[in-house]
Chains A and B, each alone.
Chain A
């Protein structure tokens, strides 16, 4: 039970030039969808709302351009691994997606 409610949070800065546009959003969702945890993402820089990290439409609403800081939250049995993988993806510049 306690595992299922595990939470993890990380803040990462967008480093790639194009920011969180269509293709990076799809990379993000690909990775997020491999995990059980619920993922929510917030654009700290713009003080925006929290969106579903597995929704292609909502992720696009983050308006996350280069330099913005994202707060990635995961909630579920694999929360820590989820956040780890997503943060790595963002920091790598979405593998030059």
Chain B
């Protein structure tokens, strides 16, 4: 039994056999096995060799039949290397003598050879490194477990274990029987984490080396509520978790009963809880969970697919699907937020040195006006199907907002010229997610229809912390007093100017901050649908006077730790039985 700790992306318990995704280009960390496991490790190694050779033999037969023997011969040396007894002997010796794990031993030996080829003067021989890497990858995949192409055809629920997942890969998990996820990499607010959260399946990320510690077929427990995973649990632990799995289902049912009830405080103050969605079909899911609308539709996920940018018609259909899914409730569509870790980096020839401070979000849209206008046309056309608002991401200056708004008006004119009637009065707002925008909030209030606070980026820029960097992500804290003060100032300015203000970052869905945000006077929260029931439960158990008092007190602390402790205590008073 082995327990690993990480960062939770979604609460809950999942139990299943592990499927380990192919290790790409990263180092397998050093791991030893107990002496009594050596025989197992060696047989794991032997069958990995056998399986690899078998795969290549089959591939060679296929290539020979379809492309001729020249193509088949490419892999002849690969097979030769896998049958090389001396090579296999040195890997086995490492397992036997150093008690090193099979995957680590194989990787170490193969990498020593890669180094040797690297030093050669003949460029053709240096190319051999690619072959050695290819052989290494195949071998590791067969040591560590299943391949990714099998994910779509799973016959039973499994736990997916991987080094990292791209947002695109994560999106594809929606259609699979993956019950829980464990990743080496990741920080709580990375886009992969956001997507995993919206999948609503228990997951733990930032586990550092889970993908080499767990092998395909191992029984794994994901405990998303306690931010840990357990590999090969003992009988007692497994029993305990099977019961917790049941309890979790019961809690979900209990929260489910709240879905028809409004998020109203004990003293009758109505709060609107909307959902953040990435895919149009999630709109319906959110409404089913009792959400009051779509507070943030992240349209960039339409663009994160192998075929590239969607056409106007494809976008139109997606927006209409989301609007219909919302069933008459308000839908706030955010124009694509591309750049930084999404989309643009893969497509630019020159990678940006500091993409989070680079060409992203509205900056990218304004420099790619053709692409931007295609989206605006699709949104404007779709807007006639419901109660739609439009907002721009990462607005940092008034000029940017004006230019984006002007582009919308140009697009409306273009559409009208071609005989398409659209709503000219569509509300146009902004995401407030930079310190500059927060400082100028009063000026913005004169020009925008509404403001939605994006806490993820706001916190990252305010605290100068890369939320995706595991080495500093512990400094990324919504409890930082500076964050609380900025939020108060923004909400105050909006209230004074009578501009509708909502919050849509991860913070909005964390019960720990519900009382504080409510106490500031925020009336609209947008979050992952999975978080709605618990936040609603909390709001229904407090009064505005109580929340105002909590917010005021929270603003009086000097450190984030004090803030967190205080908010946790106050939240526990209201929800003593729930883990916060």
Contacts and interface: CB of A to CB of B under 8 A. Distances in A.
Interface in B102-119: 113, 116-117
B110 to A, nearest CB: 9
Nearest to A97: B73
B124 A55 contact: no
Nearest to B82: A56
A63 B122 contact: yes
Interface stretch (B83-91, B352-360, B452-460, B489-497): B83-91
Contacts of B132: 57
B87 A57 contact: yes
Nearest to A46: B121
Contact of B86 (A25, A26, A55): A55
A29 B86 CA distance: 13
Contacts of B87: 55-58
B463 interface: no
A22 B86 contact: no
A52 B132 CA distance: 18
| Interface size of B as a range | 20 to 34
B106 to A, nearest CB: 13
A69 interface: no
Given A57-B86, A58-B86, A65 B122 contact: yes
Contact of A54 (B85, B121, B128): B85
Interface residues of A, number: 18
A88 interface: no
A57 B84 contact: yes
> Which of B86, B87, B116, B125 has its CB near the most chain A CB atoms (within 10 A)?
B125
Given A55-B87, A56-B83, A56-B84, A26 B76 contact: yes
Contact of A56 (B73, B80, B120, B124): B80
Interface string A60-91: 11010100000000000000000000000000
B128 A60 contact: yes
B73 A23 contact: yes
Given A60-B125, A65-B122, A55 B84 contact: yes
Interface string A10-38: 00000000110111011001000000000
A56 B77 contact: yes
Contacts of B121: 63
A21 B86 contact: no
B81 interface: yes
Contacts of A57: 81, 84, 86-87, 113, 132
B77 A26 contact: yes
Contacts of B83: 56
A26 B80 contact: yes
Nearest to A51: B86
Contacts of B80: 25-26, 29, 56
Contacts of A21: 124-125
A54 to B, nearest CB: 7
16 contacts: A21-B125, A22-B128, A23-B76, A23-B77, A25-B80, A26-B76, A29-B80, A54-B85, A54-B86, A55-B85, A56-B77, A56-B80, A56-B83, A57-B86, A60-B117, A63-B122
